[in-house]
Amino acid sequence: MKGPVLVTGGAGSLGKRVTQRLRGEGYRVRVFDLPVANFTGLENDPDIEIVRGNLAEEQSIKQAVEGAGAVIHLAALLPPASERDRARTFAINTTATAKLAQALSETNPAAPLIFSSSVSTYGDTTSENKPLTVDHPQVALDIYADSKIIAEKGLLEHFPNAVILRISGISVPVVQTPPEVWPFTAEQRLEFVHRDDVVTALCEGVVTDGAKGKAFNIAGGLGWRMTGRSYVKDYYDLLGVPIEEARFQEKPGWFDWYDTGSSQRLLRYQNTSYQAYLEQLRALVKEMMG
């Protein structure tokens, strides 16, 4: 591949891990993020180029994509910030994505663009009795999902090298205070995915020609399928907290089970089992307890 891999939103927690994975595989990386972002840990590698800019500015986009061999597009306005201003959210998540793809196609028409989308674009699917496929209708429940749906549509219609990854809820092996209200019902179907497996899927999208021009569900697989109550109970058990203290949404969120057969065959990313994730959490709790 000629040129570095551009990672937009590369100074975020997921972006940094993507950058580290790419560097470990021998790629040069160009990290693009806002000037106020925290670039700590990225600044001392001669094969990591840092570009500070704003996706809302066309000049920043042109500077970011110039000479890039591929793009992993993570930058986006996320909830709850995305829900405060529809125009701003669409400017960043939709319009800037189209401009990024256009600039890339003008400078390197063969370069793939891996777009980080979301399974939230399917909306409330609790009436379904089978895992969701990528051809399931997309019905946004919020501004964020709506912006991703429109961005996806534009990429799939106009940019044949786009790879759309609809990523499920990401389980991060970090011990955190439980939310006041979990964003799903107790009986809702859940299929999260480990953070490291998401990183793998994103990086594999760069080199997988068979993924171009397609959309994929990215989720944990069979072993990650459970209900909201069972997911929370496992977490509370690790913390020594009774499940009776958990509060769940009364209305369903966008979570469900997903058909990941095609994404796993091509991207080979489902490498971390749910039990391995729990073991990671257990080790962290033990370390915290001394």
- Does a structural domain hold residue 279? no
Task: Tell me how crowded residue 137 is: count the other CB atoms within 10 A of its CB.
Answer: 9
Q: Is residue 83 part of a domain?
A: yes
Vertex 27: Cα angle to 21 and 31 (nearest 5): 75
Q: At residue 1, does pLDDT exceed 80?
A: no
Per-residue model confidence (pLDDT) at position 184: 97
Q: Which amino acid is at 67?
A: G
In a domain, 289, yes or no: no
Q: Rounded CA gap, 238 and 275, in Å? A: 12
pLDDT score at 290: 76
- Domain containing 125 — which CATH number? 3.40.50.720
pLDDT value for 125: 97
Query: pLDDT tens-digit profile of 258-290?
Result: 999 999 999 999 999 999 999 999 999 999 887
On whether residue 229 sits in a domain, the answer given is: no
What are the pLDDT digits (tens) for 26-67? 999 999 999 999 999 999 899 999 999 999 999 999 999 999
* Residue 166 covered by a domain: yes
Spatial neighbors of 160 by CB under 8 A, at least 6 apart, are 212, 213
Quote the Cα angle for 56-82-120, to 5°: 115
Cα distances from 182 to residues 124, 191, 231, 248, 251, in angstroms, run 16, 15, 11, 5, 11
Domains held by the chain: number: 1
Residues of the chain with pLDDT > 70, as a percent, come to: 100
Domain extent at residue 59 = 5-170+194-221+257-271
* pLDDT tens digits along 217-264: 999 999 999 999 999 999 999 999 999 999 999 999 999 999 999 999
**Residue 278 burial by Cβ neighbours in a 10 Å radius (0-12, 13-18, 19+):** middle
In a domain, 286, yes or no: no
- Is 182 a domain residue? no
Q: Is the pLDDT of residue 24 over 90?
A: yes
Domain-located, residue 186: no
pLDDT, average across residues 160-170:
98
What pLDDT, on the 0 to 100 scale, is given for residue 289?
84
